[in-house]
């Protein structure tokens, strides 16, 4: 079979007619399917129901050190919660602050502290004429929204299959003191599913930065989110804090994680890990902001997940639900699109997304066609700063939420939309 690009105009026009017919048929079904956001499926949420029964009596509310968690106190996390989150963040409990239900919130707070007060004695970023940020792209739209809202100039840097293009990152960080930070989703990245290589982590730690207060926002949202049980099939990430300590840049990283996609999104616990100086500064500021976060929820999480092993066992249950969905995406895209040509997609070993690269100039049209046919996708462009994908090619597929049968149907629709948009494009 020739690829679409190899077909003559007559052949392609006939094919387009066929695709239009197929598309109209799909539209007539009145579907309402969703592959837009990385939400766990109901079956995954059900896995964590015992958590809600972990703290029910007055006795249950006492932490290991005797704190009555129904009351005020312990502003920065119960010792046992720090231990649990230290396991997720690959750090020491002393370097961890346990926070509320959202790591995104924790990142926003960390950014706002730098913005308002500076960090470790530096000039508040909000007082500077210009602040710039390195944005590995495709990336996470909510990160980009945060820096955009503050008027921070976002500089996209291409992702490779080992992490961000480090030649570019190093060049930008070294050349301009207004470049204050970088967004990183270092493991099973959103959306590409890439885990940064050891070399990338070491280069991030060691690179020369024109700004002394350059910060790596290390959003390890998918740190425990493997799709495979066998360790040989799991990605491993070098710890940025250790790499920075070795490179003499220990204050450079802020590490974040949460249990959003471990237990309940929106009702989990989050944490920050950072150097002793950064943690001391954050605590000082946070003590003004809050008396403390929800300790009863910390207790529930510790009793339910216990430790690194308990967490890993729980994540294997998630993986058992998710694996067939990712397999289905792979199979459907392979069957539907390998002969078409011009398309690429990721085959991640963890995380929540498949990153799809359509032929250049087709992504917006594909998402539009899918929407009209009743399949909601993440907006084209959303994975790039300012919503602008320079090649109009990347689409984030989020296969976790729909049940398998619905996902199957949604992928059929998606494949038809890709083919139709590509045929339209080639015919001009
Ligand atoms: N970071 C990344 C990379 C994510 O994909 C998500 C969820 N989609 C979040 C953070 C949000 O995490 P939380 O619920 O802890 O705010």
Report the nearest atom of ligand 1 relative to the CA of 258. Answer: 15
- Range(s) within the chain of domains with CATH label 3.40.640.10: 62-306
Q: What is the pLDDT along the chain (428 residues), one digit of tens a residue?
A: 899 999 999 999 999 999 999 999 999 999 999 999 899 999 999 999 999 999 999 999 999 999 999 999 999 999 999 999 999 999 999 999 999 999 999 999 999 999 999 999 999 999 999 999 999 999 999 999 999 999 999 999 999 999 999 999 999 999 999 999 999 999 999 999 999 999 999 999 999 999 999 999 999 999 999 999 999 999 999 999 999 999 999 999 999 999 999 999 999 999 999 999 999 999 999 999 999 999 999 999 999 999 999 999 999 999 999 999 999 999 999 999 999 999 999 999 999 999 999 999 999 999 999 999 999 999 999 999 999 999 999 999 999 999 999 999 999 999 999 999 999 999 99
Cα 26 to Cα 24: distance, rounded to the nearest angstrom:
5
ipTM of the complex: 0.99
Q: Ligand 1, atom 11: nearest CA belongs to which residue?
A: 104
Q: Ligand 1 site: residues with CB under 6 angstroms?
A: 38, 102-104, 140, 185, 190, 219, 221, 258, 260, 265, 270
Q: pLDDT digit string (tens) for 333-375?
A: 999 999 999 999 999 999 999 999 999 999 999 999 999 999 9
Express each pLDDT in 129-142 by its tens digit.
999 999 999 999 99
Query: Tokens for 79?
Result: 């010792």
Sheet holding 270-273, edge to edge: 96-99, 270-273, 253-258, 215-219, 179-184, 132-137, 153-160, 163-164
In the chain, CATH 3.90.1150.10 sits at 4-44+313-427
> Which of 39, 110, 219, 297 has the most ligand 1 atoms within 8 A of CB, as the residue to mutate?
219
Q: Do residues 55 and 66 touch, judged by C-beta distance below 8 A?
A: no
The answer to whether residues 314 and 303 touch, using CB atoms and an 8 Å cutoff, is: no
Q: Considering the entire predicted model, what is its pTM? A: 0.97
Rounding to the nearest 10 degrees, give the CA dihedral for residues 42, 46, 47, 48. 110
d(CA 305, ligand 1 centre) in Å: 19
- Residue 313 CA to residue 299 CA, distance in Å, equals 19
Does CATH number 3.40.140.10 belong to domain 62-306?
no
* Secondary structure (3-state) at 257: strand
Ligand 1 center from residue 144 Cα (angstroms): 12
Q: Mention the CATH class of domain 4-44+313-427.
A: alpha beta
CA of 349 to the centre of ligand 1 (A): 18
Handedness of CA 333, 336, 338, 340 (dihedral sign): negative
How far, in Å, from the CA of 300 to the mean position of ligand 1?
21
């Amino acid at each position: 079979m020739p690829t679409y690009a190899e077909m003559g105009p007559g052949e392609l026009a006939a094919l387009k007619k066929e695709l239009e017919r197929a598309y109209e048929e799909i539209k007539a079904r009145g579907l309402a399917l969703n592959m837009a956001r990385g939400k766990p499926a109901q079956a995954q949420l059900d896995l964590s129901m015992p958590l809600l029964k972990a703290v029910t009596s007055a006795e249950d509310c006492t932490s290991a050190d005797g704190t009555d968690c129904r009351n005020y106190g312990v502003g920065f996390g119960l010792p046992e919660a720090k231990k649990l989150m230290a396991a997720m963040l690959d750090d020491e409990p002393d370097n961890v602050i346990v926070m509320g239900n959202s790591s995104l919130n924790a990142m926003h707070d960390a950014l706002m502290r730098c913005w308002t007060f500076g960090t470790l004695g530096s000039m508040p970023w909000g007082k500077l004429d210009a602040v710039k940020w390195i944005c590995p792209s495709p990336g996470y739209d909510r990160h980009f929204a945060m820096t955009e809202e503050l008027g921070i100039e976002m500089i996209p840097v291409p992702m490779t299959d080992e992490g961000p293009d480090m030649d570019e990152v190093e060049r930008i960080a070294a050349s301009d003191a207004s470049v204050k930070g970088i967004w990183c989703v270092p493991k099973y990245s959103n959306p590409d599913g890439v885990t940064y290589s050891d070399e990338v982590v070491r280069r991030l730690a060691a690179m020369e930065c024109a700004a002394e207060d350059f910060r790596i926002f290390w959003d390890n949202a998918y740190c425990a989110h493997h799709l495979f049980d066998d360790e040989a099939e799991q990605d491993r990430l070098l710890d940025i804090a250790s790499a920075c300590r070795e490179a003499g840049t220990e204050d450079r990283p802020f590490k974040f994680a949460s249990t959003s996609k471990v237990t309940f999104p929106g009702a989990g616990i989050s944490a920050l890990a950072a150097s002793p100086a950064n943690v001391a500064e954050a605590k000082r500021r946070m003590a003004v902001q809050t008396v403390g976060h929800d300790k009863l929820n910390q207790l529930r999480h510790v009793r339910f997940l216990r430790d690194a092993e308990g967490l890993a066992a729980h994540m294997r249950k998630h993986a058992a639900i998710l694996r067939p969905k990712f397999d289905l995406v792979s199979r459907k895209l392979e069957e539907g699109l390998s002969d078409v040509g011009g398309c690429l997609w990721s085959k991640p070993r963890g995380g929540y997304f498949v990153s799809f690269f359509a032929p250049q100039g087709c992504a917006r049209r594909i998402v539009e066609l899918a929407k009209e046919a009743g399949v909601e996708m993440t907006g084209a462009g959303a994975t790039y700063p300012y919503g602008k994908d320079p090649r109009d090619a990347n689409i984030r597929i989020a296969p976790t939420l729909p049940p398998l049968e619905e996902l199957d149907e949604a992928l059929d629709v998606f494949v038809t939309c890709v083919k139709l948009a590509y045929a339209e494009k080639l015919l001009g």
